[in-house]
Amino acid sequence: MIGWLYRAADLLRRRPLAGDHGRLGEDLAYRYLRRHGCTVVARNYAARSGAGEVDLVAWEGGVLVFVEVKTRSSADFGAPEAAVDGEKQRRIAIAAREYGRRAQVDDTRTRFDIVSVMLGKPPRITWTRDAFRVRDI
């Protein structure tokens, strides 16, 4: 029953957002993480300063995971995860630190992951745990 509701919601979202690969990829990543035991607690968390954003925030066991989702319709421009460069990591880290501070979670209990989504029939989803470490910001 719940699967049917997800499919209906996807169809409704895709109609007005047909060209919005990012939103579709985030929806797929959200469900993928939930199926793999994560509890997603936030989507599109933006730092109050406006300096950064985290696509998904989830708990996997006792670890708070900050997830960057990258979506591509083809590999013509490289793997999706390759787009998470140093500057992007820094901006994610700013938002993650703020979220962790507000949630009172120590940095030692956090991790940065990347979920890559290649759109197709069926979509191919790759979850890279501990994809990068954050140095001093």
Q: For the chain, what are the domain ranges? A: 2-128
Three-class SS state of 64:
strand
Segment 89-103 mean pLDDT = 95
Condensed to tens digits (0 to 9), the pLDDT of residues 113-134 reads 999 999 988 999 999 999 998 8
- Alpha carbons 60 and 52: distance in angstroms, whole number: 22
pLDDT at position 17 over 80: no
First to last CA, the chain: 45
> Does the reported pTM lie above 0.85?
no
* CATH 3.40.1350.10 assigned to 2-128: yes
Condensed to tens digits (0 to 9), the pLDDT of residues 22-32 reads 889 999 999 99
CA atoms within 13 A on the CB side of 81: 15
pLDDT at position 6 over 80: no
Condensed to tens digits (0 to 9), the pLDDT of residues 41-93 reads 999 999 998 889 999 999 999 999 999 999 988 776 777 787 889 899 999 99
Residue 59 tokens read as 């708990």
Segment 106-110 mean pLDDT = 94
Burial tier of 9 (Cβ tally within 10 Å: 0-12, 13-18, 19+): exposed
Residues 6+ apart with CB under 8 A from 100: 64, 106, 107, 110
- Alpha carbons 77 and 1: distance in angstroms, whole number: 38
